[in-house]
Structure 1
Amino acid sequence: MTVLGRLTERILGLPAASTSATSSAGAGAVGVARDLRVPMADGVDLLADLHRPRGAGPLPAVLVRTPYGRRQALVRVLVGVLARRGFQVVVQDVRGTGGSGGDFRAFHDERADGLATLAWLRAQPWCDGRVATAGASYLGFAQWALAPYADPPLAAMGLGVTASEMVGSFYPGGALSLHNTLVWSSLMGTRDGRPLTHARRVRRAMRHLPVGEADTAAVGRPEPFFREVTANAERREFWDATDHSAAVAATTAPASMVTGWWDLFLRGQLRDFEALQDAGRQPRITIGPWGHDLKALRAVLLDQVSWLDAHLHGDAAAPRRAPVRLHLQGAGRWLDVERWPPPGTEPTPLHLSHVLTWDGDASGAEPLAFTYDALDPTPSVGGPLLAPGRGGQRDNTRLERRGDVAVLTGAVLDRDLDLIGPVSAVIHVRTSTGHGDLFVRLSDVDPRGVSRNVTDGVLRIGAPGIVRAEVEMRPTAYRFRRGHRLRVLLAGGAFPRFARNHGRGEPAGRAVASRRVRFEVHRDADHPSSLLLPVWRG
C-alpha cells in the first residue's frame, strides 16, 4: 500500500485494508495493466486499465466507467480503495474521453458501450465471469445504462449520488437547470488539457443571452452537451433513449445507494430505490446531510466497499443493516427505517391563508401578488448546486425582503415537528402573460428570525387564466424545533439556478426579449393553495 493511499484512507476515515485477497499476495500488492483496448460493435476501441492482486487466478471484476479520465484524482481514489482491498478493478474511459476512440455524446452511448464492455470482460481469462459495478454521479448513470440489460445479471451495483435518468435534473418542473448544466458542461469542455475555466467566468456567463450560447461565453467555444440541453428544453423525446428508469424495477442485481438531501439527483435516486423496493428487491440506501460534493465521498466509498465485500468476497456481515439509513436534519441524528417513505409518515396540508395554517381557514384571503422581471431576476440562494460553498442550506433573510417575492409565515411551534418524505405544493396561480416559472420554497425560521431553506421546487407555467400548479418539491428529512416557525416563499424564479423565464413563451435556449410577469396566487375557498408535508409521527 502506498503512503499516499494510506494518507487518503486515513483522511477519509476508511478502515484498513485487510481482505483475504490482499493478505495472500501481501498488503497493497496490486499489479496494473494499462491501456487495454476494448472493442465496440462499431469498430471503436475504448481504453481501460486493469488493477488486480499480483499472482491471483481468475477473479470477479469491478467495472468503473468514467468520462473524467481513468487516472483523474477522484477516480484514482475510488479505484485505489477497491484495489487495495483485493478487488479486481477495470476502469475505462467512456467513448470520446481520455484515450478512448469515438466522440463523447453525454449519456447517449453508455448502454451499447457498457454491454460490449461487459461481454469483453466476461471473456477474459483473468475474470471468473462475475462482474459488479461501482462509482458515483455519471459513473453511476453508466451502471444504470448497463445493469437492466445485462444477461446474466451483474453481481452487485454501488450507486453513489446518481439516478437512472438525468433528464429530470436538466429540466426540473420544466424549467431549465442553468447553473448545474453550465458548470458541468464547462468542466467537460475543458477536459482536453486547456486550463480549467475559472469559476467566476462561468458564473458571469450564466447572464449571457441567449442562454443557449452561454457555453461560448464560459469556455470560448460551443460545448455539445450544453447545446443539446438548451436546444431540447421543449423536446424531451430527444432524451428518451437515455432514460433507463422504466427498466429499474426489472433489475435483479443487488443495489446499494448513497445520496444526500442536497444532491441534485436526490429525487431520481429515491424513485429508483422505491421502484426496486416495490418490485420485491432488497436494495439499501443511505441519505446524508451533504450535496454533490466531497462530503459524500467518504460515505460512497464506505458503502461500496462493504457492499462489494458482501457480494464478491462473501462477507456475510456487511449487509446487516436497515434498508434505509437517513439523517434527520435539524435533529443531528441518524434513523434506520425499513422503507422509503418511512412508516408513520402522514401527508398533511399546510394552507396558504392570511398566514400559514394547518386548519384550512381561507375566508377573506386576497390573492398574493408579486412581479417578476427577467432583467432583474429573483436570485437563487442555496439548494442543490454544483458550487462549493454556495449550495445546501443558506440564510434566506435578504431574499425574503425583496419586492418580487411573496412570503407567508406560520405560528411559533409549541413542539418539535419532523418531516420525512416527499413534499409537494398545489398553488392556484395566474400570470399576466400566460407564461412564467413558479418557485416555491419552505424554510425554517429560528427564534432570532434567521430563515434557512429546507426544500423547494419549481414549475414552468404556459397557460392563461388561473392554473392549478402542482409543484414537486425536493424530499426531505428535517426537524423544525420547538420555538421555530415555518415559512413559505413564492417567486417567479431562482436565478441562476434556473434560467430566466422571459414571459413570452419562446424556446428557453433562444429567448432574449422579455416581458415583466405579474403573478397572482389565489388562496380562497374556491382556489385553496397549500403544501403537502410528510409529518412523521414515528
Structure 2
Amino acid sequence: MSLASLALQRLLRLPPPRTRRLTVERDRWVPMRDGTVLLADRWTPATGGDGLPTALLRSPYGRTGMIATQLARPLAERGYQVVVQSTRGTFGSGGDFDPLRREREDGLDTLDWLLEQPWCGDGIVLFGGSYLGYVQWAVADAVPGRVRAIVPSVSESAFTLEQLRGDGFSLEAPFGWGVQVAGQERQGSRLGQLLGAGRVRRAMTTLPLADADKAVLGRPSSYFQNVLAHDATSPFWQPVDHRDRVAAITVPVSTVGGWYDIFLPGQLRDFQALQKAGRARARLTVGPWSHVSMGAGAVSTAEALDFALPLARGEEPAERAAVRLYVMGEERWRDFPSWPPPGYEPERLYLRPAGTLSAEPAPPSAPDGYAYDPADPTPAVGGVRMAVGVRAGRVDNRRLESRKDVLTYTTGVLEEDTEVVGEVSAEIWFSSSLRCADVFVRVCDVDEKGRSTNVCDGLVSLTRADAVTRAEVRLWPTAYRFRRGHRIRVQVSSGAFPRYNRNPGSGEPRATATALVPADQLVFHDPDHPSSVILPVRRGD
C-alpha cells in the first residue's frame, strides 16, 4: 500500500480508492496549432485505464511533486485517468511562457488532441485550482461536447485583474507570483522557497518598486514589469480577460472558493453570470479558507468525484443546493439557492464619536485623525493573503488595533445573533494633508474576552484626498454570524502592506516612486458626512 496514497486519503477525507496501483506515462507530446509541442503525463490504473473518464489538468507548475501527489493521484485511484500537461514554456513544454496569454488557444488544441486518443473515453472533466482553474475559464465556452464538467477552484475568469486595479493595487500576490514563476525551475525545492520568503518580503520595500524583482531574482520578472506598466483597464490585459465568455458557458460548473481567497470577488461574479444566463448547471461552494488551503483542495477533489465523475459517465450526481456556504461565527455549512442569497437586507452601521458604531447616524462631531507614514506602513495582518510563510484568514487583530495609525469603531454588545451574508461595502468621508491617500476598511468580530477577529476588508486609493471625499470601499464578500454577546467593530486605516502597495503620498507612479511622504488623515462622522459600513443582514434565528 502506498503510504502517500493512504496519507492523502486521510488528509483529504476521501473514500477508499478503487486501486492504489497506478501507471504513469511520461512526456507525451501534444502538438499545438503553431507547431509547438507541449508535454503531458498520463496517469491510469495499472489495469483497465483505457476508456475511463479523463481528467485534464493544465499547469505551469510542473507535473510532479504536489501536482502529482495531491491532484492527479486521488483522481486516478478513484475512477479517472488523468492527463497532467505543462503549459507552454514550462517544465519541458516548448515555446515561451507568457503568463495567461496563450491558455485559450493551447487549451482548445489540447482538447482536440485528447479527443483523438483511442484511450480517452467518452467523458472529459477539466480540473484544478488557481492558474489550473483559470485555464478552464479560458476555454469553457468553447469546449467540445465530450467535456462533461469543469471544476475550477480558487480562481476566476479574469484572474489577476482584481489585483491590478488603478484604485487599489495589490502588491503581495502579483509580486510573489511573478517571482515564483520566474524562478521556480531554478529553485529546485520547497525548502528553497521557504528560505527565500523573507527575501521576497524585504524586496517589496524596494524603492523604486520597479527594481523589487531584481532584488530577489537578479533580473526582471516580465510578468511583474507588465503588472507595473499596465493596470486592469489597459488593453494589454484584454487577451487574458474572459469575463465576457462566462454567460455563454453550457458545460456544468462546480466552483470552489474561500472567504479569504484573493480571487473570491471575481469567482462570485462568474457564478452570478452563470446563474443569470441559465445555460449551465452551476454550483458554488465557499469555505473559511485562504488561497493556499488544504480545505479548498479537499472539497475540490470531492466535487470532481461526486459531481463531475457521474456526469462524465453519463449519470446524474446527487442533488445538492446550488450554493453551499460555510457561515463563519456559526461554524456551519448552509445551503442557499443563489449568490447573493435572498433574505438579507442592507443595513448601515455609522461611525460615531468616541470610537462607537451604531445604527443611529452620528450627531455633530469633530473628525478623528491619525498620521500615516509610508516608511512605517500599517501592516497587513491575516485576511486575504497569498504568500509563503504568511498566516492568512482569521487572526487576532488586537495588536494591529493598538497602532496609532488605526482607528476603530465598535458597537455595543449585540442582544441577538446578527447574520451577514453577501456583498459588504463602506462609505468613509475622508480627507488627507496630501492629494494621494488610501482608505482601508476592515470589519471585525469582537468576542466576550475582547479578541477582535477579522471578517472582511477592502481598500480604495484616492487621488483627490486633500479635499473632503466620500471614499467608496468595496470589501470582500462574506458569510458570518456575529453571536449575541459579541460586538461588531470597524477599522479604518490607510494601508495593509504588503498585501496592498503602500501609498507613497508623493503622487509619483507606483513603479518609479522614490519619495515617501507622511500624511495626516481625517475621518469624518457627522450629519453632513455620515461615514458607515453597509452590511447585508438577517437577524435572529
Alignment TM-score, normalising by the size of structure 1: 0.93
Between 1:57-66 and 1:479-488, the stretch displaced more is 57-66
Does residue 409 of structure 1 match 2:407? no
Partner of residue 239 from structure 1, selected from 237, 240, 245: 237
**Which position in structure 2 is the counterpart of 1:134?**
127
Aligned mates of 2:424, 2:233 — CA distance in 1: 27
- Which letter does structure 1 place at the counterpart of 2:287? G
Does residue 283 of structure 1 match 2:282? yes
Aligned mates of 2:162, 2:324 — CA distance in 1: 24
**Which position in structure 2 is the counterpart of 1:217?**
215
**Which position in structure 1 is the counterpart of 2:340?**
341
Aligned mates of 1:2, 1:408 — CA distance in 2: 54
**Which position in structure 2 is the counterpart of 1:49?**
41
**Which position in structure 2 is the counterpart of 1:17?**
17
Q: Following TM superposition, by how much is the alpha carbon of 1:251 offset from its aligned partner in structure 2, in angstroms?
A: 0.6
- Which letter does structure 2 place at the counterpart of 1:439? F
Q: Residues 388-428 of structure 1: CA distance to partner in whole angstroms, max 9, x if unpaired?
A: 55211111112212222222111111111111111011122
> Does the Cα contact within 8 Å between 1:122 and 1:131 map onto a contact in 2?
no
**Which position in structure 1 is the counterpart of 2:428?**
427
Q: Residues 185-231 of structure 1: CA distance to partner in whole angstroms, max 9, x if unpaired?
A: 22212212335342111111121111222112223322222222122
**Which position in structure 2 is the counterpart of 1:229?**
227
**Which position in structure 1 is the counterpart of 2:382?**
382
**Which position in structure 1 is the counterpart of 2:328?**
329
> Does the Cα contact within 8 Å between 2:4 and 2:69 map onto a contact in 1?
no
**Which position in structure 1 is the counterpart of 2:6?**
6
Between 1:65-74 and 1:117-126, the stretch displaced more is 117-126
Q: Following TM superposition, by how much is the alpha carbon of 1:40 offset from its aligned partner in structure 2, in angstroms?
A: 1.4
Q: Determine helix, strand or coil for the equivalent of 1:143.
A: helix
Q: Following TM superposition, by how much is the alpha carbon of 1:358 offset from its aligned partner in structure 2, in angstroms?
A: 4.1
Does residue 181 of structure 1 match 2:197? no
Q: 1:356 to 1:419 in 2, by over 3 A?
A: farther
Aligned mates of 2:248, 2:38 — CA distance in 1: 28
Aligned mates of 1:199, 1:180 — CA distance in 2: 13
**Which position in structure 2 is the counterpart of 1:418?**
419
Between 1:494-503 and 1:57-66, the stretch displaced more is 57-66
**Which position in structure 2 is the counterpart of 1:507?**
509
Q: Following TM superposition, by how much is the alpha carbon of 1:92 offset from its aligned partner in structure 2, in angstroms?
A: 0.4
**Which position in structure 2 is the counterpart of 1:114?**
107
Q: Determine helix, strand or coil for the equivalent of 2:187.
A: coil
> Does the Cα contact within 8 Å between 2:351 and 2:358 map onto a contact in 1?
no
Q: Determine helix, strand or coil for the equivalent of 1:248.
A: helix
**Which position in structure 2 is the counterpart of 1:268?**
266
Q: Residues 305-331 of structure 1: CA distance to partner in whole angstroms, max 9, x if unpaired?
A: 212222112453x34111111111111
**Which position in structure 2 is the counterpart of 1:86?**
79
Does residue 296 of structure 1 match 2:289? no
After superposing on structure 2, the runs of 4+ consecutive aligned residues of structure 1 that deviate more than 6 Å are none
Alignment TM-score, normalising by the size of structure 2: 0.93
> Does the Cα contact within 8 Å between 1:176 and 1:508 map onto a contact in 2?
no
Aligned mates of 2:235, 2:458 — CA distance in 1: 23
> Does the Cα contact within 8 Å between 1:430 and 1:466 map onto a contact in 2?
yes
> Does the Cα contact within 8 Å between 2:179 and 2:217 map onto a contact in 1?
yes
> Does the Cα contact within 8 Å between 1:170 and 1:229 map onto a contact in 2?
no
Q: 1:31 to 1:74 in 2, by over 3 A?
A: closer
Does residue 39 of structure 1 match 2:39? no
- Which letter does structure 2 place at the counterpart of 1:95? R
Q: Residues 503-527 of structure 1: CA distance to partner in whole angstroms, max 9, x if unpaired?
A: 1222212211122222222222222
Between 1:357-366 and 1:160-169, the stretch displaced more is 357-366
> Does the Cα contact within 8 Å between 1:70 and 1:76 map onto a contact in 2?
no
> Does the Cα contact within 8 Å between 1:48 and 1:92 map onto a contact in 2?
yes
Q: Residues 1-35 of structure 1: CA distance to partner in whole angstroms, max 9, x if unpaired?
A: 744323321332200124xxxxxxxx345443221
Between 1:120-129 and 1:487-496, the stretch displaced more is 120-129
Q: Determine helix, strand or coil for the equivalent of 2:185.
A: coil
Q: Following TM superposition, by how much is the alpha carbon of 1:77 offset from its aligned partner in structure 2, in angstroms?
A: 2.2
Aligned mates of 2:68, 2:259 — CA distance in 1: 23
> Does the Cα contact within 8 Å between 2:271 and 2:284 map onto a contact in 1?
yes
Between 1:46-55 and 1:100-109, the stretch displaced more is 46-55
Between 1:435-444 and 1:289-298, the stretch displaced more is 289-298
Aligned mates of 2:183, 2:513 — CA distance in 1: 26
Aligned mates of 1:310, 1:422 — CA distance in 2: 33
Q: Determine helix, strand or coil for the equivalent of 1:442.
A: strand
Aligned mates of 1:395, 1:211 — CA distance in 2: 30
Aligned mates of 2:259, 2:49 — CA distance in 1: 41
**Which position in structure 2 is the counterpart of 1:99?**
92
Q: Residues 41-62 of structure 1: CA distance to partner in whole angstroms, max 9, x if unpaired?
A: 2221111112234345544422
> Does the Cα contact within 8 Å between 1:168 and 1:268 map onto a contact in 2?
no
- Which letter does structure 2 place at the counterpart of 1:215? D
Aligned mates of 1:523, 1:156 — CA distance in 2: 50
Q: Determine helix, strand or coil for the equivalent of 2:309.
A: helix
Q: Residues 269-307 of structure 1: CA distance to partner in whole angstroms, max 9, x if unpaired?
A: 111111111112331111111211223221221122212
Aligned mates of 1:244, 1:458 — CA distance in 2: 25
> Does the Cα contact within 8 Å between 1:172 and 1:458 map onto a contact in 2?
no
Q: Determine helix, strand or coil for the equivalent of 2:207.
A: coil
- Which letter does structure 1 place at the counterpart of 2:371? T
**Which position in structure 1 is the counterpart of 2:183?**
190
Q: Determine helix, strand or coil for the equivalent of 2:325.
A: strand
Matches within 5 A, 1:511-526: 511-526=513-528
> Does the Cα contact within 8 Å between 1:350 and 1:356 map onto a contact in 2?
no
